Amino acid sequence: MEKIRYYINIKKIELVHKKKFKNIKIRINERNEESMQKHNIKSRIREERQAGITLVALVITVVVMLILAGVAIAAVVDGEGLFSKTRQAAETYENATREEGEKIQSLINEIDKYLEGNIEEEEIKVEPETVAKIGDFVNYSVQVDSNGNDVIDEGETYDKWRILDFDNNGHMEIVCYNGPEFEMSGKEDYLNAIKILNDVSIPYGKGTYGYSTRHLGSDPSNPSSYETIDESYIKFYEDYDNIESNTNYEYLCQTHHESDWDAILSFSNTAEGKKLAREIWLASRSVNAISRNSGFRVRVVGSSGTFYSNNLCFVYSGGGEFAYSGSNALAPVVSLESGVKINTSTAGNGSEESPWTLTK
């Protein structure tokens, strides 16, 4: 009996435990299902979020690409864009090619001249001495008489010269400060004035380092231009009514003297307040026409730099001519040899009392 009850109790206990285990298992399963549901919900939320982020990123990417495309298109088609710069580069290349071709052709021409024996001897360009300036006095002397003839034992020594300019070939140009008086008069002297003044200046270039000469006012690049004027130009001025239409007026009224006159004006005054020792001729002519006559003149510069003209001939509207004379100083301009410069190792400051010494 005891064993039976014991056995029954054991079975009861097992049944109780089985129920408990079953309930526990049910609860565990329920919890697992609940957990799975939560997990599934979280997964769906995560997926939805990821889908949303991907869509936003796509939109941003598209916007950025559109912006970049707009910038690229603007860079290509705008006024300063790629197309324009490409066109400019092409034009620059064409211009450079053309210029190079011209330089090559110029070189070929020079070679041809050399081969044909037509090339001129090139002057050596000399940079001016920086210590000297326009208007400074320099030591340069030559002995000539009042007519410009060479003298050996007698005659005045013209040794006061001022720097006038440095010409295109590197030569220093100097002008005589105290040239001699020289007279011109009448129609013939007017017609030949520039040739007369240039010719009488030639001997002044025979001093030490002298290279070539011309007279102040003549064209530095071509001193022989305007040598003579045809007499018919003067006759034309007898008819005053036709003067305004005269195509030869500019030929008669020359302006190549202006660079020389400007240089004289830039000279500093000496202690006596002078730029030149006396009134000087300019190798330049002009015409002054009024109703009753026309005056044919050669220009003059005063010692202080003032500018006026000296009549040499009048032609009257009723016919007839009248000669006048004028006496002014010569102003020979001497172009010194290449390589001549100021000797800074000797005493001198460029003043009238202490002129610069020339050397080579």
pLDDT in tens, 15-24: 655 666 566 6
Q: How many helices (H) and strands (E) does the chain have?
A: 7, 13
Q: How far apart are CA 138 and CA 144, in angstroms?
A: 18
**Amino acid identity of 226?**
Y
Q: Say what the pTM is.
A: 0.60
Q: Specify the higher pLDDT residue, 154 or 358.
A: 358
Of the candidates 155, 267, 257, 268, the one whose C-alpha atom is nearest the C-alpha of residue 204 is: 155
Task: Please report whether residue 339 resides in a domain.
Answer: yes
Q: Is 47 domain-assigned?
A: no
Name the H helices within the chain: 2-77, 82-116, 186-191, 193-201, 231-236, 249-252, 258-266
pLDDT digits (tens, 9 = 90+) for 202-221: 888 888 888 889 999 988 77
Residue 163 lies in a domain: yes
Q: How much is the pLDDT for 163?
A: 93
Measured CA distances, 137 to 214, 260, 294 (Å): 19, 16, 40
**Cα(311)–Cα(286) distance, rounded to whole angstroms?**
9
Q: Which residue range forms the structural domain that includes residue 176?
A: 137-359
pLDDT score for 153: 47
C-alpha separations of 231 from 192, 205, 254, 313 in Å: 10, 31, 17, 12
pLDDT at 322: 84
pLDDT the model gives residue 84: 67
pLDDT at 333: 93
Going through 290-348 in order, the beta strands assigned E by DSSP cover 293-301, 307-316, 321-323, 325-329, 332-336, 341-342
> In whole angstroms, what is the distance from residue 289 CA to residue 260 CA?
26
Give me the number of domains the chain comprises: 1
Residue 99 in domain: no
Q: Report whether pLDDT(78) > 70.
A: no
In a domain, 256, yes or no: yes
Whole-number Å distance between alpha carbons of 258 and 334: 18
Residue 90 lies in a domain: no
* Contact by Cβ (8 Å): 349, 328: no
Inside any domain, residue 304: yes
Asked whether residue 272 is domain-assigned, the answer is yes
